[in-house]
Copies of this chain bind each other. A is one copy, B any other.
Amino acid sequence: MSDPVVPVAIGPDGANTVLLEKAVVEGGAVVGAREEAKGLIWVGGPNDFPAELPASVEWVQLPAAGVEDWFAAGVVERFPHIRFTSAAGAFAASVAEHALTLLLAGVRYLPEHLRADRWRQQDFFPHVGSLRGKTVTIVGAGGIGRALIPMLTPLGAHVIAVNRSGRPVTGHGIPDTVETVSADQLGKVWSRTDHVVVAAPATAATHHLIGADALSRLKPSSWVINVARGPLIDTDALVEALRRGAIGGAGLDVTDPEPLPDRHPLWSLPNAIVTPHDSNPPQLRLAAFADHVAENVRRFVAGEELLAPIDPARGY
């Protein structure tokens, strides 16, 4: 049995909280004053965060996916008896939708279509592709990769998800037909890959993960999409592959260097689509955060495990 009235506060005062108030109510709680609240949804930064909280507060929802700043400001350590959750995963869907857009635009030859100023049906016919029956390798099976899988499989694409462990990727909307491969087997995957989506964190191990070698093993029709971090792709090797037509094209929401400098070849290559790291723009973030809050409020009220719990010992 859940408490019939669970007050959840939203702060700091003065923030635009209409969407979040709706989310709290949607989650089954009521919006209350901080003094009596069991939960606190915080939309400010770490430096605005209260020095003290009422004893009633059991849970705090932070607005960021990465919470290094909150640890640096000592917020989490200050309240050892309170559970903190981050917004990790909340913004993954928008980035996954962006990746799908870039991939479909490439496969369907949209850049050339948009440059046309006359009806070039016969020219374009041979270049219009489809994801049906194609294999898309998603490097990184975190929030973005897992959000992308259920967007790709209804199009008839076969998905290979690459993660560190190789343990099968599962989750909501992820069909059994998805193959999981461990990162150390990545080299064996290229020959079966039609398109690649890079969605892994930037670490020493993933630096230039897509370089001359991987690019040489893809197909002249392959699109390479990056919605993670620029340095996962060797930009010079990519430009070279795009120039030679060794791959079909690249759709990049992130670049290396970033911002991409004026007159960089990626701006003018006809088979490159560059978006300026805007796959998760500010006006979409609040709505996505509100969805995350509604779900966490629902779980909090029901006494279920919360999404994106922060582990004070690990620092994330």
A interface residues (Cβ-Cβ under 8 A, vs B): 93-94, 97-98, 100-101, 104-105, 108, 110-111, 113-114, 116-121, 124-126, 128-133, 150-151, 154-156, 173, 259-260, 262, 267-268, 273-279, 281-284, 287-288
Pairwise interchain contact A111-B108, C-beta atoms closer than 8 A? no
When the two chains form their complex, are residues A126 and B281 in contact, meaning their CB atoms are under 8 A apart?
A: yes
Question: Which residues of chain B come closer than 8 Å to A130, judged between CB atoms?
Answer: 93-94, 97, 284
A273 to B114, CA, bound (A): 6
A175 CB, min distance to chain B CBs, angstroms: 11
Shortest Cβ distance from A98 into B: residue: B108
The reply to whether A268 and B117 contact each other, CB–CB distance below 8 Å, is yes
Closest residue on chain B to residue A153 by CB atoms: B154
Is there an interface contact between B110 and A101, defined as CB atoms closer than 8 Å?
A: yes
Q: Is the pair A132, B94 in contact by a Cβ cutoff of 8 Å? A: yes
Beyond A97-B131, A120-B276, 20 additional pairs, beta carbon < 8 A: A94-B132, A97-B104, A97-B132, A101-B101, A101-B110, A104-B104, A105-B105, A110-B275, A113-B275, A114-B273, A116-B267, A119-B259, A121-B276, A124-B275, A124-B276, A124-B278, A124-B281, A128-B281, A128-B284, A151-B155
Which chain B residues border A118 with CB–CB below 8 Å?
262, 267
A272 to B, closest residue via Cβ: B114
Q: What is the chain B residue whose CB lies nearest that of A119? A: B259
CB neighbours of A273 from chain B (8 A): 110, 113-114
A110 to B97, CA, bound (A): 13
Q: How far is the CB of A26 from chain B (nearest CB, A)?
A: 12
A114 to B279, CA, bound (A): 15
Instruction: Tell me the smallest distance from the CB of A163 to a CB of chain B, in Å.
Output: 21
Cβ contacts A to B, 26 pairs, < 8 Å? A93-B132, A97-B104, A97-B108, A100-B155, A104-B104, A104-B105, A105-B105, A110-B110, A110-B273, A113-B274, A113-B276, A116-B276, A117-B262, A117-B267, A118-B262, A119-B260, A121-B259, A124-B275, A125-B278, A125-B281, A126-B281, A128-B284, A129-B284, A130-B284, A132-B287, A154-B173
8 Å CB contact of A128 from B111, B151, B279: B279
Nearest residue, chain B, Cβ from A108? B101
Contact yes or no, A105 B116, CB < 8 A: no
Determine the chain B residues whose CB is within 8 A of the CB of A154 once the complex forms. 150-151, 154, 173
Whether A93 touches B156, Cβ cut-off 8 Å, given contacts A118-B262, A262-B118, is yes
**What distance in Å separates the Cβ of A152 from its nearest Cβ neighbour in chain B?**
9
3 closest pairs, A vs B, by CB?
A119-B259, A121-B276, A101-B104
Across-interface contacts of A97 in B (CB, < 8 A): 104, 108, 130-132, 155
Residue of B nearest to A124 (CB): B278
**Judging by beta carbons under 8 Å apart, are B117 and A114 in contact?**
no
| Chain B residues with CB below 8 A from A150, complex form | 154
- A133 near B100 with CB under 8 A, answer no
Shortest C-beta distance, A257 to chain B (Å), equals: 10
Cα of A124 to Cα of B155 in the assembled complex, Å: 28
